[in-house]
């Protein structure tokens, strides 16, 4: 096994030996620290993607890495055939942290979503009393919940779906941020759950009306339908509060007293729950829902392993200790203020939107043009890494450990780069 010497070598190897299931920006990263990444040639970049918000705590956070090392030398995996001495403390820690009675530990985000779907369906038949096989889960158009066969069955992204059928039945789509559409579909007594992203990240950082989530949760409650929040991307301080469903609360933890807090019946977390160090996901809910899952009915060899559990505890502690939600909120306001002022001076950017440090700019060009991609390539040349998302939209989501000074430096790079395209 030989280490690559140049970016070109690494790209050639990936192209030749790896499935072409991604279309990466042409940069080969070799090192990360905090808000910075370095490529194979040693060029330094600001990370403005944070591995799709998995690295909220910054790259190679020393506390998280120390935990990983310590636990790796003790015990990594036993499977759930036996108990282990980290899972219990982790389960207590994460349920206290987010204010739920139970957690089901998994590894990837998609597995978390699959788990929530299974719990919801079983609850529908065994608690709500929907006739077996009739349960419907309502989802939103332009959703992104992962890549498994069932999840792509309710996607409307052609690339994600085409030629992967037959699709899993039992899902119905409504428009996002449309409370009337939800009210209408909930007239169907076979609806068991409503699965929703508090902000649609992949779709282009679509932020719904301020009262959408609270109204949706209330409608679900009235109709005995589970409100399932996919906070895999929006959660863990990204949007300026611990969870996006916390609304405008900036406290360091979970607090149901806050009038802005919308409590999901099922909460799905992933990505930053481990600070990008290890794949960890979690599904949280109370006993009256989680108790439908009994031995043999769901699981994963790696889910709840001591290494991931220990890493997740430290990663969540870092979020609290370093006040990352507060920082994301403060920097997010500065970012949007600067972008809004900048947009007034250029025609190429239509708008900036987002919450906390989950933001996007919409490029003023046709959806199928390559302008957003070309801007991202130029941003890379200028030392900042971001990636276009659906349509002509660029998502900006730096690690939450960024300082105000660094953010201003990044805004300078973004403005300078976009101006290159208007000349």
Instruction: Based on the shown chain and the rule CB under 6 A, indicate whether residue 275 belongs to the binding site for ligand PLP.
Output: no
Please identify which residue in 67, 115, 233, 392 interacts with ligand PLP, judged by CB under 6 A: 233
Q: How far is the CB of 116 from ligand PLP (least distance, A)?
A: 10
Q: Are the C-beta atoms of residues 138 and 172 closer than 8 Å to each other?
A: yes
Count of chain residues binding ligand PLP (CB under 6 A): 15
398 near ligand PLP (CB under 6 A)? no
Q: Tell me, yes or no, if 180 is annotated catalytic.
A: no
230 is catalytic: yes
Residue 144 annotated in active site: yes
If binding is defined by CB under 6 A, does position 232 make contact with ligand PLP? yes
235 binds ligand PLP (CB under 6 A): no
360-382: b or e for each residue (b if 16 or more CB lie within 10 Å)?
bbbbebeeeeebbbebbebbbee
Q: Angle formed by the axes of helices 404-422 and 371-381, to 10°?
A: 130
Is 114 one of the binding residues for ligand PLP (CB under 6 A)? Answer: no
Q: Which is nearer to ligand PLP, 385 or 411 (CB)?
A: 385
Interaction of residue 145 with ligand PLP, rule CB under 6 A: yes
> Residue 58 or 270: which CB sits closer to ligand PLP?
270
C-alpha torsion angle, residues 205, 179, 281, 31 (rounded to 10): 0
Q: Provide, rounded to whole angstroms, the least separation between the CB of residue 272 and ligand PLP.
A: 10
Beta bridge partners of 195: 228
Q: How far is the CB of 271 from ligand PLP (least distance, A)?
A: 6
Neighbours of 12 (CB within 10 A): 12
The full 3-state SS of 165-230, as one line of letters, equals CCCCCCEEEECCCCHHHHHHHCCCCCEEEEEECCCECCCCCECCCCCHHHHHHHHHHHCCCEEEEE
Residue tagged 């941020």 (tokens) = 177
Q: Which residue's CB is nearer to ligand PLP, number 271 or number 329?
A: 271
Query: In the chain, what's the furthest Cα-to-Cα distance?
Result: 64
Between residues 40 and 354, which has the closer beta carbon with respect to ligand PLP? 354
Strands (E), 237-288: 266-269, 281-285
Query: Scanning residues 367 to 396, which ones bind ligand PLP (CB under 6 A)?
Result: none
CB of 174 to ligand PLP, least distance (A): 17
Q: Say which of 48, 144, 171, 396 is annotated catalytic.
A: 144
User: Do 188 and 225 touch, CB atoms closer than 8 A?
Assistant: no
From residue 317, give the alpha-carbon distance in Å to each of 118, 207, 314, 409. Answer: 30, 27, 5, 28
Q: Which of 114, 177, 230, 265 binds ligand PLP (CB under 6 A)?
A: 230
User: What positions carry a catalytic annotation?
Assistant: 144, 230, 271
Footprint of ligand PLP on this chain (CB under 6 A)?
A: 52, 108-110, 113, 144-146, 197, 201, 230, 232-233, 270-271
């Amino acid at each position: 096994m030989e280490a690559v010497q140049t970016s070109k070598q690494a790209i050639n190897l990936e192209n030749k030996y790896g499935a072409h299931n991604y279309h990466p920006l042409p940069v080969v990263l070799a090192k990360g620290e905090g808000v910075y990444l370095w490529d194979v040639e040693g060029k330094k970049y600001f990370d403005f993607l944070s591995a799709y918000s998995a690295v909220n705590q910054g790259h190679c956070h020393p506390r998280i890495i120390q935990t990983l090392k310590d636990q790796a030398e003790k015990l990594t995996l036993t499977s759930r055939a036996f108990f282990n001495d980290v899972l219990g403390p982790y389960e207590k820690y994460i349920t206290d942290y987010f204010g739920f009675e139970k957690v089901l530990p998994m590894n990837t985000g998609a597995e978390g979503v699959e788990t929530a779907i299974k719990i919801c369906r079983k609850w529908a038949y065994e608690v709500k009393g929907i006739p077996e096989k009739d349960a419907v889960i309502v989802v939103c158009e332009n959703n992104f919940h992962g890549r498994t066969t069932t999840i792509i069955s309710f996607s409307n992204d052609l690339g994600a779906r085409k030629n992967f059928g037959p699709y899993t039945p039992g899902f119905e789509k409504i428009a996002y941020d449309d409370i009337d559409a939800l009210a209408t579909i909930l007239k169907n007594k076979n609806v068991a759950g409503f699965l929703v992203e508090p902000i649609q990240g992949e779709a282009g950082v679509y932020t719904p009306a301020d009262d959408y989530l609270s109204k949706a949760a209330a409608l679900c409650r009235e109709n005995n339908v589970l409100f399932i929040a996919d906070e895999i991307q929006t959660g863990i301080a990204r949007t300026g509060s611990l969870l996006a469903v916390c609304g405008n609360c900036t406290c360091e933890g979970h607090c149901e007293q806050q009038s802005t807090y919308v409590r999901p019946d099922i909460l799905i977390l992933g990505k930053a729950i481990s600070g990008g160090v290890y794949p960890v996901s979690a599904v949280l809910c109370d006993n009256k829902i989680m108790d439908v899952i009994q031995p043999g009915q769901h699981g994963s060899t790696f889910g709840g392993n001591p290494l991931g559990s220990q890493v997740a505890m430290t990663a969540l502690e870092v979020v609290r200790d370093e006040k990352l939600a507060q920082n994301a909120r403060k920097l997010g306001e500065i970012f949007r203020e600067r972008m809004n002022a900048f947009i007034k001076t250029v025609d190429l950017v239509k708008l900036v939107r987002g919450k906390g440090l989950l933001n996007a700019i919409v490029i003023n060009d046709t959806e199928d043009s390559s302008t957003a991609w070309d801007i991202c390539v130029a941003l890379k040349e200028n030392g900042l890494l971001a990636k276009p998302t659906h349509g002509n939209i660029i998502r900006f989501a730096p690690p939450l450990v960024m300082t105000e000074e660094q953010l201003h430096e990044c805004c300078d790079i973004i403005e300078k780069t976009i101006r290159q395209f208007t000349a």
